[in-house]
Amino acid sequence: MWFKKADATEKKEAAEKLRYSRYYEHDGALRAYANRAMLLALITVPTALLAVALAAYVRLQPPTVIRVDSNGEASVLDLRTTAARQTVSVAQGADAAPDELEKKGLVRLFLDRYLDFSPDTVNRSWADALNMMTANLRHASLNAMEKDNTVGRIQDEQITSVFHLRSIEPVKDDPLSFIAFGVKEVHHVRDHQEATDKLVGEYHIRLIGERRSESNPSGLLIAEYGERLIEGERRDAMLEDSALNQPK
C-alpha cells in the first residue's frame, strides 16, 4: 500500500486541488474589500457635508443691489459690508463711546450731503443731512429753509454745488467739536448764462452722543452747525490747493 504508485488520473486531481485557495484566504479577501469600502464611505461623508454647507452658504448670501443715481451712474451696494459694520458697531456696546474715526466720518458724511447737491438731488441730500441732526436743530433748519424758500430757489435758478473738503480738525478741549475747511463751487443759471462762484468756507460742527442703535450705529448726531467765509490770502491759498488736487 505504501509503495503503491499513483496513476495519471490521481496526479491530475491532486494538481487541481492544489490550485484551490484555502477558506481563510477567501475570508481575508472579503474582509479587505469590506475595509476598503468602509474607508471610502468615511471619506465621502465629510465631502458631502462640506458640499451641502457650501451650497447653503451661497444660498444665504444677500442679493447684489445696483443703485442708479440721477446722472445715470451705477454703483453696487455692498450689503455684506454694511451689515458687518453695523454688527461691529453694535458689538462694541450700546453705551460705548465713539472713536475719532467715527466722529470725523460723520462730519465728512454730513458735509458731503449738506453742501454737495444739484437741483435734482437737493431734496434727497438735504433730507439725509437733516436726519443726521438733533430734533431741535432739524426743526430750526427746516423753518429757515421754508422761510427763505431755499429749495425752490435752487431749483428755479438751477443751482449746483460741488464741495471739496480740505481738512477736518478737532477743537481743543472739546472732543465732540470740529472745524472743517473746504471749497464750495456754486454754479447757477440766470438769463441763460452760467455763473460760477468759488466759496472758501470754515465750518464749525459740534456733535452729541446718544445710545447706539441699528438706525444710528455710531451713536452720534449733529448738534450745532455754522459756516464762515474765508477771504484774503488764506482764501487764495486754499483755492490754489483745491486746483492742484483736482482729478485730471
> Are 121 and 197 found together in one domain?
yes
CATH number at residue 235: 3.10.450.230
**Residue 3 lies inside a defined structural domain of this protein:** no
**Residue 2 lies inside a defined structural domain of this protein:** no
> Are 49 and 78 found together in one domain?
no
**Residue 191 lies inside a defined structural domain of this protein:** yes
**Residue 157 lies inside a defined structural domain of this protein:** yes
> Are 140 and 121 found together in one domain?
yes
Task: Please tell me the total count of domains within the chain.
Answer: 3
| 126-146 confidence digits (pLDDT tens) | 999 999 999 999 999 999 999
Q: Which amino acid is at 111?
A: L
64 grid coordinates:
447684489
| 38-78 confidence digits (pLDDT tens) | 888 888 888 888 888 888 877 777 767 766 665 556 666 65
> Are 168 and 237 found together in one domain?
yes
Q: What pLDDT score was predicted for residue 74?
A: 64
CA nearest 242: which of 168, 183, 196? 183
> Are 84 and 41 found together in one domain?
no
Determine the Cα–Cα distance for residues 166 and 243; give it in Å rounded to an integer.
11
Helices (H) and strands (E) in the chain — how many of each?
A: 8, 6
Q: Is 133 buried (19+), middle (13-18) or exposed (0-12) by CB count in 10 A? A: buried
* Domain ranges, residue 70: 64-91
User: Which residue bears the cell 484774503?
Assistant: 232
* 232: enclosing H helix or E strand: none
> Are 43 and 83 found together in one domain?
no
Determine the Cα–Cα distance for residues 55 and 247; give it in Å rounded to an integer.
44
**Residue 1 lies inside a defined structural domain of this protein:** no
| 145-173 confidence digits (pLDDT tens) | 999 999 998 988 889 999 989 889 999 88
User: Which residue bears the cell 474715526?
Assistant: 101
